[in-house]
A and B are shown apart, each in its own frame.
Chain A
Amino acid sequence: MKAPLISYSVLVIDDSPHSRILLLRLLQRSGLSHVELAVNGTQGIQRFKALRPDIVFLDAIMPEMDGLTALREIRKIDPDVIVVVTTSLSEKEKVMQFKDAGANYYLLKPFENEKFDQTLLKVLGILEQRVKAE
């Protein structure tokens, strides 16, 4: 995958070490080197306020603060940041809750690298459009 011209910052919020490392590697492989990690929603909100990332990858089931609560908090801080939910929750009700809370994309775990790349390309496309519009 072609590296983006602009170095966007990414925050990964996931309580699973395996998922965090996987996402980190996939993002770095795609040319995104500015990646911060958080292990739950509470830490994620703290890191979000400090980093103000362009993209957030957000798990749903986490200790202390779950993904849905974290998403609602993130949207209060930044209505425009792109949030990609990455979770194994496939109940339609849950999916709709995340959509209604403002998620931009929803990736079902386990996902294939190709699906991740497709989603990331869409995200980068949106960000590049925003830069051009400024």
Chain B
Amino acid sequence: MECPNCKTENDDKKRFCTTCGTALGALCKRCGKIGKAGDKFCGDCGTPIVASSNERLFSLPSGPGSVKQYAPDEVEELISLRTIARDEEAASERVTQNDIDSIFG
């Protein structure tokens, strides 16, 4: 899936752009599912999608000439946010019915 912000081509399974952190689709605030960009309602729980599909977990400079200097504490915060985003992605690992059958025995 192409990132709507930086145009990076991401793996279809990714929920956020691996380059700039933009949500790759319509993020449901209720159940956390990500639908297609432009969706007005969550396809899983029916909650209206109020956030922009371009919502990012954090902002990073993009494009040539937009280099920004970060203070050490800002760098630490960004690294921390990246870690949180990575952990959230790991926690939201999707499973198939076969996986579930194995879990339940």
Contacts and interface: CB of A to CB of B under 8 A. Distances in A.
A90 B103 contact: no
A105 interface: yes
B91 interface: yes
Interface residues of A, number: 18
A90 B32 CA distance: 11
Q: Considering residues B91, B94, B95, which has the most beta carbons from chain A within 10 angstroms of its beta carbon?
A: B95
Contact of B100 (A61, A93, A104, A108): A108
B31 A89 contact: yes
Interface string B68-89: 0000000000000000000000
A122 B30 CA distance: 33
Contacts of B45: 61
Tell me the dominant secondary structure on chain B's binding face.
loop
Nearest to B47: A61
B104 A89 contact: no
A123 to B, nearest CB: 12
A134 B69 CA distance: 74
Interface string A47-77: 0000000000000010000000000000000
Contacts of B91: 91, 93
A115 B96 CA distance: 13
A92 B97 CA distance: 11
Contacts of A88: 44
A105 B104 contact: yes
Nearest to B91: A93
A81 B104 CA distance: 16
A108 B99 CA distance: 11
Interface of B: 30-32, 44-45, 91-97, 99-100, 103-104
Interface of A: 61, 88-93, 95-96, 99, 103-108, 111, 115
17 contacts: A61-B30, A61-B45, A89-B31, A89-B44, A90-B96, A91-B32, A91-B91, A91-B93, A91-B95, A92-B95, A92-B99, A96-B103, A99-B104, A106-B103, A106-B104, A108-B96, A108-B100
